[in-house]
């Protein structure tokens, strides 16, 4: 009985503070060694990308987010912060919107808007998740769902930015190539 009495303050604190809707502390950027060397080469050249996204392939599908304001599908990703590489922006934004700590492997394309598209690997048993599932609580302001979608069954009207359909399909094909 004394044992439980001593634990009660700890349990009270864990109960009150254990489940937070705030974004957990920042993760370290995970990228392949090959990509790191490519990013160093590109940083010395003129580079016009201001945003980056992850293409996460799961079997015959890609992982996309359903954007809250538009109700349409989009890549997980977003804008680059000051001093941040494109690949680290793709990693950070994907983590913020999906909760997945991906490995950014290689750049596989870009959109007509200059959005850099990266192949990102995820080893968290994503194949076992349903076709549509909820985002982490901290992403709920921006994302209403995370979905596994066949890119060849989508039409341009399903995407937040219609011009992203061809780069999405091209990236899906380029995902497994060297």
pLDDT for residue 178 is more than 80: no
Q: What is the pLDDT of residue 49?
A: 66
Specify the pairing of strand 77-79 against strand 51-58: antiparallel
Is residue 16 situated within a structural domain? no
Is residue 166 situated within a structural domain? yes
Is residue 7 situated within a structural domain? no
Is residue 82 situated within a structural domain? yes
Is residue 10 situated within a structural domain? no
pLDDT for residue 44 is more than 80: no
Containing domain of residue 42, as a range?
28-174
Q: How many domains does the chain have?
A: 1
pLDDT for residue 66 is more than 70: yes
How confident is residue 146, by pLDDT bands cut at 50, 70 and 90? Answer: very high
Q: How far apart are CA 107 and CA 151, in angstroms?
A: 18
CATH code at 157?
3.90.79.10
Is residue 2 situated within a structural domain? no
The 10s digit of each residue's pLDDT in 79-133 is 999 989 999 999 999 999 999 999 999 999 999 888 999 999 987 788 899 999 9
How confident is residue 31, by pLDDT bands cut at 50, 70 and 90? Answer: confident
Query: Residue 69: what are its φ and ψ, rounded to 5°?
Result: -70, -40
What's the mean per-residue pLDDT of the chain? 82
Which of the two residues, 42 and 104, has the higher pLDDT score?
104
Is residue 91 situated within a structural domain? yes
pLDDT for residue 150 is more than 90: yes
Q: What is the pLDDT of residue 37?
A: 55
Is residue 4 situated within a structural domain? no
């Amino acid at each position: 009985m004394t044992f439980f009495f001593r634990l009660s303050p700890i349990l009270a604190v864990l109960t009150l503070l254990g489940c937070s809707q705030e974004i957990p502390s920042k993760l370290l950027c995970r990228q392949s060694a090959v990509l790191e060397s490519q990013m160093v080469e590109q940083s010395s050249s003129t580079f016009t990308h201001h945003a980056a996204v992850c293409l996460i392939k799961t079997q015959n599908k890609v992982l996309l987010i359903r954007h809250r304001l538009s109700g349409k599908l989009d890549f997980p990703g977003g804008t680059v912060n000051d001093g941040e590489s494109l690949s680290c922006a793709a990693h950070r934004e994907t983590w913020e919107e999906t909760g997945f700590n991906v490995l950014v492997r290689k750049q596989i394309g870009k959109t007509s808007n200059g959005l850099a598209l990266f192949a990102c690997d995820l080893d968290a048993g994503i194949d076992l998740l349903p076709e549509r599932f909820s985002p982490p609580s901290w992403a709920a302001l921006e994302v209403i769902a995370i979905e596994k979608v066949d890119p060849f069954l989508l039409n341009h009207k399903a995407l937040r930015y219609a011009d992203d359909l061809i780069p999405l399909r091209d990236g899906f094909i380029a995902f497994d190539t060297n």
